[in-house]
Amino acid sequence: MMNHNQTPIFYQLALKLCDEILEGKYEINARIPSARELAILCEVNPNTVVKSFELLTNNQIIYNKRGIGYFVAENAIENILNMKRRQFTEEYLPLVFKTMNQLSINMEQVMELFNQYNENQK
C-alpha cells in the first residue's frame, strides 16, 4: 500500500503548489511566495522549498526571474496535468491493478463503479 508519509517533503510541497496553481490560487505569470516565505508558511527548511522549486522549474511549471522571484510558467497547467498523468500511470495504476487482481475485480466492475461515481458527482 502506498504510504504518503514516505513521499519526500519537497515532492509533497511541489504537488501542493501544483494543486494551488490548478485551483487558480496562482495565475499564469503571477509571482509565487519566495522560498523563505513558503518555508515559514509550511514550517519546513528553506532548502526543502528550493528543491521543490527546482523540480517545478525542471518541469516548466514555474520560472525564475533572477532577483525578483519565481513565477507561474505560461504552460504550467498543461505541464502539471502531464506530470500528474505520468504519476498516476506510473505509480497509482500498477497498485490499483495489483489490488484488482488480488481481489478478483474485473474492468467491467470498475467501469460500473466509475460510472456510478461520475453520476454522483453531477
> How would DSSP label each residue in 19-34?
HHHHTTSS-TTPBPPP
**Which sequence spans correspond to the domains of the chain?**
4-76, 78-121
d(CA 3, CA 5): 5
- pLDDT tens, position by position, 95-104: 999 999 999 9
Indicate if the pLDDT at residue 3 is higher than 60. Answer: no
Cell of 51: 528543491
pLDDT at 122: 82
- pLDDT tens, position by position, 48-86: 999 999 999 999 999 999 999 999 999 999 999 999 999
Between the alpha carbon of residue 32 and those of residues 52, 71, 94, 114, the distances in Å are 13, 6, 34, 36
72 close to 26: Cβ distance less than 8 angstroms: yes
pLDDT at 5: 64
pTM above 0.75, yes or no: yes
State the CATH architecture for 4-76.
Orthogonal Bundle (1.10)
Pairing of strands 62-65, 69-72: antiparallel
- pLDDT tens, position by position, 20-49: 999 999 999 999 999 999 999 999 999 999
